[in-house]
Amino acid sequence: MEALQIKPFAIDASINVIRFKATAFPAGIMAAYEKLDEVVPDVTKRKHYGFSQPNSKGEIEYWAGVEQLPSDNGNYFGLEPFTIVTGNYQSILVTDFKSNPFLLRQAFKTLTALPEIDPNGYCLEMMLSQTDVLCLVRVLQ
């Protein structure tokens, strides 16, 4: 297996998304994306994101999200609005994640072990294609 490579990544402009919280992690992730497919128009034309973060009990919470388009005119389709903030991130590209979903876990385990990550941040998945995902964590400035 190829070693996971950490690379800096900058988000230069805030990204507005709408998201839906999974009922369980990881079991509820697919259902959360299916909910987006049901309620968001033109969902296949939007960039997809995933967000995860531990709650106060230490349990991982996950949200499936898609970019909000200007044509939405402020309509959130009953979902939660969220903004991916600008800043510097560390990233790991995971290719063909469906054939080995544990690579995502390993990527975030590697990223969250970095000393410079934002302790109030979250793990961000930026879906680049049906098979490739960019795993990101925000770093302190």
**CB-CB contact of 54 with 119 (8 Å):** no
Provide the whole-model pTM. 0.93
Provide the pLDDT confidence category of residue 1 given band limits of 50, 70 and 90.
very low
pLDDT for the residue numbered 71 = 92
Query: Is 71 within a domain?
Result: yes
How far is residue 14's CA from residue 86's CA, in Å, rounded to a whole number? 5
Residue 125 φ/ψ, nearest 5 degrees: -110, 125
Tens digit of each residue's pLDDT (9 = 90 or more) over 105-139: 999 999 999 999 998 899 999 999 989 999 999 99
Domain enclosing residue 44, as ranges = 6-138
Tens digit of each residue's pLDDT (9 = 90 or more) over 58-104: 899 999 999 999 999 989 999 999 999 999 999 999 998 888 878 99
Query: Is 1 within a domain?
Result: no
Instruction: Name the region of 30 (left: φ>0; alpha: ψ -120 to 50; beta: rest).
Output: alpha
- CATH number for the domain spanning 51: value is 3.20.80.10
Short-list 84, 87, 100, 85, CA closest to 132: 100
Number of domains comprising the chain: 1
